Structure 1
């Protein structure tokens, strides 16, 4: 079970790095476009579809699993923190179970949609330049599939009582500082 957790952590970290690289490339691309537009009167062709349909999709969907491993998704704990530990654990287990089901369905549906976009060769047109956008539709199921696996792993840890359970953000920060 620990080996599986380590593999999921490594893949999630790699996806997060790819998401961070996409953000850096997006900033460079936009800067180059602005300089090209206002200094040389020549904007980079296809900037809007590349930024909105490549960089942003990568930066949004690939890091999802890493955020889940760090328990970094938004949660409202005003009432739950007053419940007994056993009830809190049950709610966390239920959230993992529901998340696993919902994101598995989302992955499946996104994969079907990506296949459809591939079949028709989806593209975007900007300033006379054609930018193929169908490949970005595969980023969504790739990111949500890993998130589904992380949620399922968390659920398995709850059921088995495995000590290598999901790490909290504090645990990750402590490991990074050590």
Structure 2
């Protein structure tokens, strides 16, 4: 289990680093586009397409598993906070499985969509520039798939009663 925890930790950290790099590149790209547009009267071609089909997808979906690993997703516990701690732990544990199923379906559906986009050679024309967008469709199943792995791992830890160190609140005790 320690090997799986380390492997998931490295994968989650890698995707968060990629997400951070994407934020920086997006800022540079948009800044260059604005400077080019208003100072040199020549915007950077395909900025809107690249930002909306690549940068934003990386920033939104790749770090999902990081938030889950750190228990940083938004949760509202109006009712369950009044339950005994043991019941809360069981509710949280089975929620991992339910969430893994939902994200598993999202992974499957987004992967088949990415394959369809690849088969058709999906692209967008912007400012007479052809931009292939089908590769960006693979980012969602990567992020959602990693989320599934983290959730399944957390569910197995719940079933075995294992507490995961290194991440605050990783498994509720």
Q: What TM-score bracket applies, with the shorter chain setting the length?
A: over 0.9
Report the CA distance shift for 1:169/1:49 in structure 2 as closer, same or farther (over 3 A): farther
SS at structure 1 position matched to 2:72: coil
Match of 1:51 in 2: 51
Question: Following TM superposition, by how much is the alpha carbon of 1:164 offset from its aligned partner in structure 2, in angstroms?
Answer: 2.2
Partner Cα separation in structure 2 for residue 28 and residue 169 of structure 1: 36
Count the aligned residue pairs: 171
Q: Aligned partners of 1:155 and 1:49: how far apart in 2?
A: 38
CA distance in 2, matches of 1:96, 1:166: 19
Which consecutive aligned stretches of 4+ in structure 1 deviate over 6 angstroms post-superposition?
Answer: none
1:62–1:142 CA contact under 8 A, matched in 2 = yes
CA deviations on 1:126-170 (whole Å, 9 max, x unpaired) are 111110000000000011000000000000000001122683369
Q: What is the alpha-carbon distance in structure 1 between the residues aligned to residue 9 and residue 59 of structure 2?
A: 18
Map 1:3-22 → 2, pairs under 5 A: 3-22=3-22
Aligned position for 2:100 = 100
Identify the residue that residue 67 of structure 1 maps to in structure 2: 67
Query: Does the Cα contact within 8 Å between 1:158 and 1:165 map onto a contact in 2?
Result: no
The corresponding residue for 1:110 is: 110
Partner of 1:158: 158
SS at structure 1 position matched to 2:116:
helix
| 77 and 165 in structure 1: CA distance in 2 versus 1, 3 angstrom threshold | farther
Provide structure 1 residue ranges, at least 5 long, that are not aligned to the other structure. Answer: 171-178
Kindly indicate whether the alpha-carbon contact (under 8 Å) linking 1:69 and 1:166 is maintained by their aligned counterparts in 2.
no
TM-score with structure 1 length normalisation? 0.92
Cα distance in 2 for partners of 1:118, 1:63 equals 24
- 1:175 corresponds in structure 2 to none
Equivalent residue number for residue 167 of structure 2: 167
CA contact (8 A) 1:121 1:134 kept: yes
